Amino acid sequence: MRIIVSSTCQIVSVLVPVYVDSSYSYRVPNGPLDTEDGAAPSKLVAGQVVKVPLGPRSVLGVVWDDDVAFTDNNRLKDIEHVYHGTVLSANFRKFVDWIAQYTLAQRGMVLRMVLRGEESLLPPKPIKALRLAGPVPARMTKAREQVLSVMEGGLAQVKADIVERSGVSASVVDGLVKAGTLEPCFLPAPALVATPQADFAAPRLSEQQEVAAQQLRQAVAADCFAGLLLDGVTGSGKTEVYFEGVAEALRHGKQILIMVPEIALTGAFLDRFEARFGVRPGEWHSGQSQRYKNLIWRGVATGEIQVVVGARSSLMLPFRDLGLIVVDEEHDGAYKQEDRVIYNARDMAVVRGHLSGFPVVLASATPSVESHNNALQGRYSRIHLPDRFGGQSMPDIALIDMRANPPEKGHWLSPVLIEAVNETLEAGQQSLLFLNRRGYAPLTLCRTCGHRFQCPSCSTWLVEHRFRKQLVCHHCGHCEPVPPACPACGQEDSLVACGPGVERIAEEAASLWPDRHIVILSSDLIHGVQQLRTELELISSGKADIVIGTQLVAKGHNFPAMMLVGVIDADLGLAHGDLRAGEKVFQTLAQVTGRAGRHTGQGRGLLQSYAPDHPVIAALANGDREGFYTYELEQRHRAMMPPFGRLAAIILSAEDREAALSYGRLMVRAVPRENDVRVLGPAEAPLSVLRGRYRFRLLVATPRSFSLSPWLRLWLSQCPKPKGSLRVQIDVDPVSF
Ligand code: ADP
Ligand code: ZN
C-alpha cells in the first residue's frame, strides 16, 4: 500500500461495501484515532476496519491496499472511527480482490459479503438477566411457583428464557422483580466457543481410513496449498477421516473451516463433532441469530474461535489464521450462489487455500466431474475410500423397467416397488420413497377446455400444493388458491392434476399402508433448521416406517434403520437440455440410494425408469462409478464443455422483451475479435420469463487455457451502458448451461 503521509495527515484508500469497484481516499485525522492503550496516534494499516462518511451516510469500510488517488488534501473527508479489534489479513484482502476479478463483481459487493454491522466489531456486551434475590413473596400463585422452580439452583437467567421455560406471561416475572424476589443483574459476555481438543476421542480407523487420514495429516503439517479430493463411497467414513485432518490443524494451532450444504448442518453432525473434539464448533448458517453470528465473526477474526462449521457464506468469514478448509459434499449445487456476486464457494475455497497457502479438502461420494477430472490430471491428490466402513456392503441397486411393470392408472408406485416396501415393513425396517419434486402435481389442467395454470410472471406452470391448498410457482413464489371452477371455461370440478409430486406419493403411500408411520420431508413443508433437525432425528431413531422425500433427504444423513430406497422417477432431470443433467441425476441417485444399509444388513435401491438403457441409469444400476465418469468426460470432451473448456453465461433481463433481446444483439456486435472465443446467442434463457422479466442468454465458450475474465471485462467495457430496467448478470462457470 502506498499511503501518503503529508506533514499533517495520512491519506488511505478505503473499500466500502457498496456497488462500486474502486476504493475511495480518506484523510486520517490526528485526533480521534488514539489507540485504546493511550499510545501515540497510530498510523492506519491496510486491513483495519473503519467508519467513513459516504454521501449522507456513515458506512463501515476497510483500509485497502490500493494506491491512494492523488487528490487535493483539503477536499478529502475524514475517517470517523477506527475499530482496533479486527484486521483483515493481507491474504484475505487478496481473496476479496480475486473473487471480484474472477466473477466480474464489484469489489465493494464482495466486501459486502464479508462485513457485518458495527456490533461484530465491538467486544460483546454483558447481557441483562435476572437472579433470585430476596425472600419468597408473601402472595404465591401457581404462576409464581413455576417461575421460582425455573430459577431453582440460583443461576441468573435472561428474562425471555425464564418466561419461556416457566410458561408464564412476562408480567408474572415483572411482578416478582417488583416484589424483590428477583433482581436484575448482568451475565458475563457469553464465552465464545470453547477450544476443540485434537485428541479428545480419536476413533480407531480402519486400515483404509488410516492411510487416507495419514495423507491428510501430512498435507496439513506441510503447511502449504494442496487440493485433496477425498473420494469415498457413501458410508465409507469420510467424516471420521477428515476429522483427522482437522485434529492435525488444531495441533498446529490453526483455524479450520468445515463447509457443508446448509441442509447437512444437522444436530447429528454437530453431535459427532462434539463426540470427537469435546466441544461444539462455531456454527454459521441462516438459522443463527444475528447476535450469535456477530460473536462468531469477531471470534474468528480475533482467533478465539478455532473451528467453524458453516454453510456457503462461511467462506467469507475473516479467519485470522486459517489452516484448513474442508468442503463436504463438494458436488452439491448449494455451494453456488446465484444472486449478487455469482460464485461457487467450492471453487473459491480452493482459491482461498491457494492464496493463503493451506490445504483444501473436497469430500464427496459423488465428486463433481470437474473435481474428478482435476484428480485425474494430477491437479488434486485423490484420497480414495472404495469400501464402506465396518464391512458393510454397498446397496444392491436394481432397475424397475416401468414399461414392463406399469403402476395402476393414476398411481406411481409399480407393483415391484410396493412389494419391496411390504417386505421391508415386515422385516421391521425403514423405506424411503424419493421423488425430487415438491408439491402434489407439477401441472394442473382443465379437462373440459384444456386450460393450464401458468405463473402470471414466469414462463412456468403452477405446481399444486394440496396440503396448502394452493397453486405455487417454484421460481418466483407466486401462489394462488386452487379455484373451485376453471377460470377459462367456468366448468366446475373439471381440474385435474397431472404427474406426481411428493405430496401425491405420500397420498398413495397412505392409502397403501394406512397403519404405518409415514413421514414426508419436503422443504416447503419444513419451517427452519430446527424443525428439519427434529424430523431427521425422528427418522434416525427408526420411528418412521416410510419416509417420502425430495432431495432434502438425499444428502449426507445417517439413517440406521433405512434398508430400502425406492426412486419414483429415476429419469427425472435426464431430459433437461442442460449438459450437466446426467451428472446431477447420477449424483442425486447415488447419494439417495446410498442411504440404504449403512449400518447393518444389505441395503437395496430400486430405480423406476422408462429409460433403463440410458448410460447414466445403466451406470447406476451396475454400480459402475468409473463408467459414469468416463462416459460423462467423453461427452464433455466432444463438446469442448467444462472441464475441457470454459464457459460464461450472460443473462440479460428486462421488463420489455425487445429491450433485452436488442441489447443482446448489440453485445454480440461489440464482441472483441478473438479466435479462441465463441459467443452463442442471444437465445431465450432456460427460464425465458422470470418474475415478470424477459430473459435472454449469451453463452461464451473458450478453451480451458483461455483467460476468460479479463476478456469479458474488455468486452463489457465496449458495450453501451444498460439503460432502464435492463440488467446484465454475468455467471462465470455456470452450473447449468
Ligand atoms: P460418509 O460420510 O463417508 O458417508 P460417515 O463418515 O457418515 O460416512 O460414516 C458412516 C458411518 O460409519 C457413521 O455412522 C460413522 O460413525 C461410522 N464410522 C466410520 N468410520 C468409523 C470409525 N473409524 N470408527 C467407528 N465408526 C466409524
Ligand atoms: Zn413465477
Tell whether ligand 1 has an atom less than 6 A from the beta carbon of residue 688: no
Binding-site residues sit at 446, 449, 455, 458, 473, 476, 486, 489
pTM of the model: 0.88
Q: 240 C-alpha vs ligand 1 centroid, how far in Å?
A: 6
Residue 70 pLDDT grade (very low, low, confident, very high; cuts 50, 70, 90): low
pLDDT of residue 265: 67
Q: From the alpha carbon of 232, which atom of ligand 1 is closest?
A: 3
Triad 339, 342, 346: Cα angle to 5°: 120
pLDDT score, position 516: 96
Mean pLDDT over 460-486 rounds to: 90
Ligand 1, from 389, 392, 394: best to mutate by most atoms within 8 Å of Cβ? 389
- Amino acid present at 133: A
Expressed in angstroms and rounded, the spacing between residue 462 Cα and the centre of ligand 2 is 8
Q: Tell whether ipTM is more than 0.85.
A: yes
Calculate how far, in angstroms, residue 480's C-alpha sits from the geometric centre of ligand 2: 11
Model confidence at 420: pLDDT above 70? yes
Please say if the pLDDT value at position 307 is more than 90.
yes
> Which ligand 1 atom lies nearest to the CA of residue 385?
3
Ligand 1 pocket: which of 208, 240, 272, 326 to mutate (most atoms <8 Å of CB)? 240
Is pLDDT at 529 greater than 80 in this prediction?
Answer: no
Cβ atoms of 212 and 383 within 8 Å: the answer is: yes
Compute the distance from residue 621 Cα to the ligand 1 centre, in Å.
24
Q: Is the pLDDT of residue 32 over 60?
A: no
Task: Say yes or no: CB of residue 367 within 6 Å of ligand 1.
Answer: no
Cell triple for residue 649?
Answer: 453465461
pLDDT tens per residue across span 608-636: 999 999 999 999 999 899 999 999 999 99
Residue with the larger pLDDT of the pair 668 and 189: 668
**Residue linked to cell 498435507:** 219
Q: Please identify which residue in the block is written with the cell numbers 424430523.
A: 535
Question: Which residues contribute to the annotated binding site for Zn(2+)?
Answer: 446, 449, 455, 458, 473, 476, 486, 489
pLDDT, mean of residues 235-251: 96
The confidence score (pLDDT) of residue 536 equals 87
* Ligand 1 pocket residue status of 236, Cβ below 6 Å: yes
Q: Which ligand is nearest to the CA of 476?
A: 2
Provide the pLDDT confidence category of residue 191 given band limits of 50, 70 and 90.
Answer: low
Q: Whose C-alpha lies nearest to ligand 1, atom 25?
A: 203
Q: For ligand 1, atom 13, which residue shows the shortest CA distance?
A: 237
Go through the chain and tell me how many residues it has.
737
Nearest residue by C-alpha to atom 18 in ligand 1: 237
- Tens-digit pLDDT profile for residues 330-339: 999 999 998 8
The pLDDT score that the predictor gives to residue 558 is: 82
> Is residue 558 within 6 Å of ligand 1 at its C-beta?
yes
- Is any atom of ligand 1 closer than 6 Å to the C-beta of 240? yes
Spell out the residues 6+ positions from residue 428 whose beta carbon is closer than 8 angstroms to its own.
none
Res 40: pLDDT? 42
Query: Which long-range contacts does 450-455 make (Cβ < 8 Å, 24+ apart)?
Result: 451/486, 451/487, 451/488, 451/489
Percentage above 90 pLDDT, the chain: 67
Strands (E), 365-441: 381-385, 396-401, 430-434
For the ranges 411-415, 466-470, 724-728, the lowest mean pLDDT is seen at: 466-470
Task: Please choose, from the candidates 551, 623, 692, the residue with its C-alpha nearest in 3D space to the C-alpha of residue 388.
Answer: 623
CA of 694 to the centre of ligand 2 (A): 12
SS3 call for 561: coil
- Ligand nearest to the Cα of 328, by number: 1
| CA of residue 238 to ligand 1 center, whole Å | 7
The protein residue whose alpha carbon is closest to atom 17 in ligand 1 is 237
pLDDT above 80 (res 478):
yes
Q: Is 237 in the pocket of ligand 1 (CB under 6 A)?
A: yes
Nearest to 240 by CA among 393, 395, 374, 390: 390
Instruction: Give the residue, by CA position, lying nearest to ligand 1 atom 19.
Output: 237
Compute the average pLDDT of residues 116-136: 84
pLDDT of residue 264: 62
What residue has cell string 455451494? Answer: 335
Return the closest-CA partner of residue 431 out of 423, 442, 439. Answer: 423
